[in-house]
Chains A and B, each alone.
Chain A
Amino acid sequence: MKGNHVKSLHARLGALVAGMSLLFAAPALAQGAKPAELKLGITTFSSGPASVFGVPAKAAAEQWIEEFNAAGGINGVKITPVFIDEGLGGDKLLTEYRRVVQEQGVKVMLSAISSGNCNIVAPVAEDLKVLNVMWDCGTEKLLEDRRYKYVVRTQANAVTEMVATVVYLLKTKPDFKTIAVVNQDYAWGRDSWEIFRNTLQALKPDVKVVAELFPKFGAPDFSTEISRLQALKPDVILSTSWGGDLDTFVRQAGQRGLMKSSLFVLPLAESSAERLGAALPEGVIIGARGDHYFLHPELKDEPKHKAFVEKFRARTRSYPIYPVYHMVAALQAVADGHNKAIKANKGQWPSTEQVAGAMHGLEFKGLTRAVKIREDGQGLEDQLLGMTRNRAGYAFPVMENMMIVPADLVTTPVGQKSPEWVKTLKPDVLKSDRIKVYAK
């Protein structure tokens, strides 16, 4: 029961019911009154394999919120984060999600990293009328299948990411004939390949797929896959894997010389680069699920970005990876969305419904390029990809020959379904002068 409903209840049901509703809605304040704090629920992986994303993202949230509160918060209201571990599994996550919303008075949730978890929490957020910002999950189906009032995504989806990867690949190596894929055997591995394959078939129909390998999620060994790939000798090998799986695959492929004979395309490898160090060779196409990069060709020296990177390194002893940027983007969007709603509400503190409304159509800027949230709740986030090169001063390869692909060029338009849309892509998209290429 939310604050803005209280008035109508007063009118319609009389004092008794109103009294009861106030009792139940104790944490909810009447419209306009500024709360003492804004409780923000954040679901992130603190356990399980995906904690490679969740742990840095949590550190980023703490760093950002600390600074943001010190600077005055949202119109004087400070943000208090409540963290939930996504590694608990879907059921437990949902219990915790309901608990923090219904018992602790959380009004805004940042959830989730896992697409599976996004699918679970989105309908619940809509029911509970709590603003849910999907801050890292990639599934494009969620916002295409249903129109949500309280659910938005502050970053790109899998379609934007995969189409941009195909664009980068075709622009840098237009003449390859064969491709093989080695993805993790779960929703993301399967779905991302489906989008990639359909896009590739639309833009370059003569490419032959020579192997589709889906080793078990968390597989400790890829020797057999690597032998098979060496026998097949594909021109290009794609893997959208991440975390330990990607590290192991890259390491074993490197040890056995496979990375010399095939061009590797690893759209999530920015998040593994520092860990892999010299095990990640030069000349591999890598991406970062957005235009995030501490060496962003346009924004690496921008004071705010630079200061954040330095502080993050000092705190965690690592360079920020993409989930860090996604976290900051989501937090910035929540802050900007509130400010936008406050403005529209003539300076009064807005209801959750008003904030949710303000989030749709919001344009905000995290640490890298600005993101616009469309009317369907989907964020338009530009995509940066590059090729690995060793450079003095870094113990791991960094991206060069970077390219930023504008999001609207490679994202399914509002109201259309991705599986059909990617098939309608034309090779003209590769010639767009809006795709920016950076020499260094």
Chain B
Amino acid sequence: MSFELLMLAAADGFSYAGLLFLVSLGLTLIFGVQGILNVAHGSLYAFGGYTAATLAIWAAEKQAPTWVLLAALVLAALVVGVILGGILEIGLLRRVQDKDPVLQLLVTFAAFLIFEDLQRLIWGVSPYSSTEVVSRLGNFDIFGITYTAYQLLLIPAVAFGVYLGLLFALRRTRLGKQIIAVTHHREVATALGINARKIGLIAFIMGAFLGALGGALAAPTTSLVPGVGTDMIVLSFSVVATAGLGQITGALITALLIGLARSVAVYTVPELEVAVPYLIMVAVLLVRPNGLFTVAQARRI
């Protein structure tokens, strides 16, 4: 494999990793704070995508400028994150907070199925898409291969921006420190005067927003179809499991690893493409059963 091909594969892997990271980040954030593996995260991705496509189609019909189209994507993710995330947390997850993890998993799975049907009710079964913003941002060439600026620049930039923003927020802001405290030990955090319930809600909505943002950013390049959330939840789960649950930087590195490995596979052994994320996951978990980046847990007793 020549250097040129490796660069091309890297470029493709980058953009793929960007979306994957955003969705995984949301999933891992929610797990970190709430201790719940939220299967309905896939629905947030799907709803974010559909809502963004609906808004973007409408904006494109009105001949809106490019920045409005981009803002529509983020707005869609915000709306979905706050409304659906809020409903999920307050209506459901809060109520199973102290229950068996298997029950929590089943509850979120049930929510996922309900959302899937809702989505079919609202948007139907035909593939749905709005590509206007991609053509507006234009193309450029690397080694004679044409890329869209949207996929190769915008998505990775947003993903990295979100990563840095989140790191900053968690380390430097009062709210972020509270989130970390709740993540480490809910009861101790409560005893210190932190409103763990409120922090849980905020963190959940942030995670939901990230899931929806992944869908919203995917909407202009992909076709939204029934079941679009299923694939994403499985894949982002493999990222989160490989990285170690609750690991933010780990999720970034793992998403990049999977994105790159996947595109290298398409260039060299295309038959392996589908299996690559799971092969990486299995390989990592065999050696480090708690994930690549899990740090030693403080003993609680």
Known: A52-B126, A223-B12, A257-B139. A244 touches B266 (CB 8 A): no
User: Are B222 and A221 touching (Cβ within 8 A)?
Assistant: yes
| Among candidates A52, A227, A243, residue contacting B8 with C-beta atoms closer than 8 Å | A227
| Among candidates B13, B147, B223, residue contacting A244 with C-beta atoms closer than 8 Å | B223
Task: State whether the Cβ of B226 lies closer than 8 Å to any Cβ in chain A.
Answer: yes
User: Among B125, B146, B218, B221, which residue has the most Cβ atoms of chain A within 10 A?
Assistant: B125
Contacts of B273 in A (CB 8 A): 215-216
Task: State whether the Cβ of A255 lies closer than 8 Å to any Cβ in chain B.
Answer: yes
Chain B: minimal CB distance from A233 (Å): 9
Contacts of B228 in A (CB 8 A): 218, 220, 244
Task: State whether the Cβ of A224 lies closer than 8 Å to any Cβ in chain B.
Answer: yes
User: Are A244 and B12 touching (Cβ within 8 A)?
Assistant: no
| Among candidates A230, A257, A275, residue contacting B126 with C-beta atoms closer than 8 Å | A275
User: Are A247 and B145 touching (Cβ within 8 A)?
Assistant: no
User: Are B139 and A243 touching (Cβ within 8 A)?
Assistant: no
Chain B, residues 257-301, CB within 8 Å of chain A (1/0): the string is 000001100110011011000000000000000000000000000
Chain A: minimal CB distance from B155 (Å): 10
Q: How many angstroms from the CA of A286 to the CA of B273 in the assembled complex? A: 28
Contacts of A52 in B (CB 8 A): 125-127, 225
Residue of A nearest to B232 (CB): A220
Of the listed stretches B74-82, B94-102, B129-137, B161-169, chain A binds B129-137
Known: A227-B145, A231-B8, A255-B131. A248 touches B221 (CB 8 A): yes
Chain B: minimal CB distance from A212 (Å): 7
Task: State whether the Cβ of B16 lies closer than 8 Å to any Cβ in chain A.
Answer: yes
User: Are A48 and B227 touching (Cβ within 8 A)?
Assistant: yes
Contact size class for B?
35 or more
Task: State whether the Cβ of A116 lies closer than 8 Å to any Cβ in chain B.
Answer: no
Task: State whether the Cβ of A49 lies closer than 8 Å to any Cβ in chain B.
Answer: yes
Residue of A nearest to B235 (CB): A220
Known: A51-B125, A215-B273, A256-B139. A227 touches B227 (CB 8 A): no
User: Are B225 and A243 touching (Cβ within 8 A)?
Assistant: yes
Chain A: minimal CB distance from B84 (Å): 20
| Among candidates A46, A223, A225, residue contacting B15 with C-beta atoms closer than 8 Å | A223
Q: How many angstroms from the CA of A230 to the CA of B4 in the assembled complex? A: 13
User: Are B218 and A228 touching (Cβ within 8 A)?
Assistant: no
| Among candidates B127, B135, B227, B274, residue contacting A255 with C-beta atoms closer than 8 Å | B135
Which A residues, 236 to 281, have Cβ-Cβ distances below 8 Å to chain B?
A: 243-245, 247-248, 251-252, 255-258, 275, 279
Contacts of B61 in A (CB 8 A): none
Contacts of A244 in B (CB 8 A): 127, 222-225, 228
Task: State whether the Cβ of A437 lies closer than 8 Å to any Cβ in chain B.
Answer: no
Task: State whether the Cβ of A282 lies closer than 8 Å to any Cβ in chain B.
Answer: no
User: Are A247 and B127 touching (Cβ within 8 A)?
Assistant: yes
Contacts of B126 in A (CB 8 A): 52, 55, 275
Known: A215-B273, A255-B135, A279-B131. A48 touches B223 (CB 8 A): no
Residue of A nearest to B138 (CB): A255
User: Are A231 and B270 touching (Cβ within 8 A)?
Assistant: no
Which A residues, 36 to 72, have Cβ-Cβ distances below 8 Å to chain B?
A: 46-49, 51-52, 55
Q: How many angstroms from the CA of A213 to the CA of B273 in the assembled complex? A: 10
Contacts of A228 in B (CB 8 A): 8, 266-267
Q: How many angstroms from the CA of A247 to the CA of B221 in the assembled complex? A: 10
Task: State whether the Cβ of B120 lies closer than 8 Å to any Cβ in chain A.
Answer: yes
Known: A213-B270, A221-B221, A255-B131. A49 touches B227 (CB 8 A): yes
Contacts of B127 in A (CB 8 A): 52, 243-244, 247-248, 275
Contacts of B54 in A (CB 8 A): none
Task: State whether the Cβ of A214 lies closer than 8 Å to any Cβ in chain B.
Answer: yes
B interface, by DSSP: helix, strand, loop or mixed?
Answer: helix
User: Are A220 and B231 touching (Cβ within 8 A)?
Assistant: yes
Contacts of A216 in B (CB 8 A): 231, 273-274
Contacts of B120 in A (CB 8 A): 47
Contacts of B222 in A (CB 8 A): 220-221, 244, 248
Q: How many angstroms from the CA of A52 to the CA of B231 in the assembled complex? A: 19
User: Are A213 and B218 touching (Cβ within 8 A)?
Assistant: no
Which B residues, 184 to 231, have Cβ-Cβ distances below 8 Å to chain A?
A: 218, 221-228, 231
Contacts of A213 in B (CB 8 A): 266, 270
Task: State whether the Cβ of A185 lies closer than 8 Å to any Cβ in chain B.
Answer: yes
User: Are B146 and A257 touching (Cβ within 8 A)?
Assistant: yes
User: Among B135, B145, B267, which residue has the most Cβ atoms of chain A within 10 A?
Assistant: B145
Task: State whether the Cβ of B91 lies closer than 8 Å to any Cβ in chain A.
Answer: no
User: Are B148 and A185 touching (Cβ within 8 A)?
Assistant: no
User: Are B270 and A223 touching (Cβ within 8 A)?
Assistant: no
Residue of A nearest to B145 (CB): A230
Chain A: minimal CB distance from B198 (Å): 35
User: Are A49 and B267 touching (Cβ within 8 A)?
Assistant: no
Q: How many angstroms from the CA of A359 to the CA of B115 in the assembled complex? A: 44
Residue of B nearest to A56 (CB): B126
Known: A224-B16, A227-B12, A231-B145. A251 touches B125 (CB 8 A): no
Contacts of B134 in A (CB 8 A): 255
Seen from chain B, the residues whose Cβ lies within 8 Å of a Cβ on chain A are 5, 8-9, 11-13, 15-16, 19, 120, 124-127, 129, 131, 134-135, 139, 143-148, 151, 218, 221-228, 231-232, 262-263, 266-267, 270-271, 273-274
> A55-B124, A221-B19, A221-B221 known; 7 other A-B pairs, CB under 8 Å?
A47-B120, A216-B273, A223-B15, A224-B266, A227-B145, A231-B145, A255-B135
Seen from chain A, the residues whose Cβ lies within 8 Å of a Cβ on chain B are 46-49, 51-52, 55, 185, 211-216, 218, 220-221, 223-225, 227-228, 230-231, 243-245, 247-248, 251-252, 255-258, 275, 279
A–B Cβ pairs within 8 angstroms, 14 of them: A52-B125, A213-B266, A221-B218, A223-B12, A223-B16, A223-B151, A224-B266, A230-B144, A231-B143, A244-B223, A251-B221, A252-B221, A256-B148, A257-B146
Closest 3 CB pairs of A and B: A244-B225, A51-B125, A244-B223
